[in-house]
Copies of this chain bind each other. A is one copy, B any other.
């Protein structure tokens, strides 16, 4: 079964045809030719061995094309059940696992708490979670994607630094591989989510787009000219560390001043809300309650956070020019408290035509982050 995967990488044309059907299918051969620039003959030639190996199927329903008097089209589709993938998102408190099919559709999900953040304990937890979540797919999952916040070296399979876990230079791919017997890809969690959007979400069909996440941190994944931006020194997409209030803003944990994250991260909001409400025990849920209850001082804290996020998004769009921005993250629980300010600040600061870039707001539960990790696994197996 694994050997057959070679047909997907047999030639650049084969690879292009497969990823086109994977991300856009079902799609008819003439449309594949149009999208890829390949000849119809080349598309047909590339598709044949993939159909034989069970990766692609020709849909039997003879769809009618819109133009042309009922010429039957036989769109190609990926056989979703041909392979299954496990994705695991590691947070400081929980491990979230999913099994997806080849089209990155979630087929099973499971969560376990993290009680000890030590490397060995987390690796053992991941292995147990993988067994549990993939029980119904026994022997049919060969690859695991793991996503972690922080500085991750995907090519080397290492977590270089993860502040929330307190990890430095952990060879996570190797450790999880040994504990599970599967091959493993490790990626930064925001980049993994960006890959899922690039291949299976809002990014499909665009040359460039951005995904910004709002929550414990403020992060951003960027796709430019069809490829994820990795950063020459492993740093990219740090929208949280754009200094939108360098003059009079608060100090940031990064050493800078007036960063978006120093104003709009969950910790920053809670700190400022405690001061505003004069309540040192207030937590995020309490701050949201107070704001919803009409507390003007706490509402102003959320409004300032929204303004900082909107300015950060505008700075990013002015620099990168994405066709579309997805805004997501666990911080969206409070989205009604700062959406207006996000949009107003973005519109005021976006330069000229960049203001036309749509902000698509979408809550993503943790399972979607785990799906992102699985999507990185799919991508790493099926691109040359």
A: residues with CB less than 8 A from B are 151, 161, 206-208, 220, 222, 224-225, 227, 229-239, 241-249, 254-258, 307, 311, 314-324, 345, 348-349, 351-354, 356-357
Contacts and interface: CB of A to CB of B under 8 A. Distances in A.
Most B Cβ at <10 Å: residue of A229, A241, A351: A351
A248 B247 CA distance: 7
B243 A311 contact: yes
A344 to B, nearest CB: 12
Contacts of A247: 245, 247-249, 258
Given A225-B225, A314-B243, A354-B233, A256 B349 contact: yes
A291 to B, nearest CB: 21
Contact of A232 (B237, B322, B352): B322
Contacts of A227: 224-225
B222 A351 contact: no
A256 B319 contact: no
A249 B324 CA distance: 29
A249 B238 CA distance: 23
A320 B322 contact: no
Contacts of A315: 241-243, 315, 319
Given A229-B321, A236-B321, 4 more contacts: A151-B352, A225-B227, A235-B321, A242-B318
B320 A241 contact: no
A27 B316 CA distance: 39
Q: Give the top 4 A-B pairs by smallest Cβ distance, nearest first.
A: A231-B321, A232-B323, A236-B321, A238-B318
B321 A351 contact: no
Give the oligomeric copy count: 2
A34 to B, nearest CB: 19
23 contacts: A151-B352, A208-B232, A222-B319, A224-B224, A224-B227, A225-B227, A232-B321, A232-B324, A233-B321, A233-B353, A233-B354, A233-B356, A234-B353, A235-B321, A239-B319, A241-B351, A242-B242, A242-B319, A243-B311, A246-B349, A247-B258, A256-B314, A315-B319
B207 A311 contact: no
A114 B314 CA distance: 36
Contact of A246 (B161, B232, B245, B324): B245
Contacts of A357: 232-233
A56 to B, nearest CB: 26
Contact of A353 (B235, B255, B320): B235
Contacts of A255: 348-349
A316 B241 CA distance: 10
Most B Cβ at <10 Å: residue of A244, A314, A319: A319
Contacts of A161: 352
A70 B136 CA distance: 64
Contacts of A206: 232
B318 A319 contact: no
B231 A354 contact: yes
Contacts of A230: 321
Contacts of A348: 255-257
A238 to B, nearest CB: 4
Contacts of A354: 231, 233, 235, 238
B222 A225 contact: no
A161 to B, nearest CB: 8
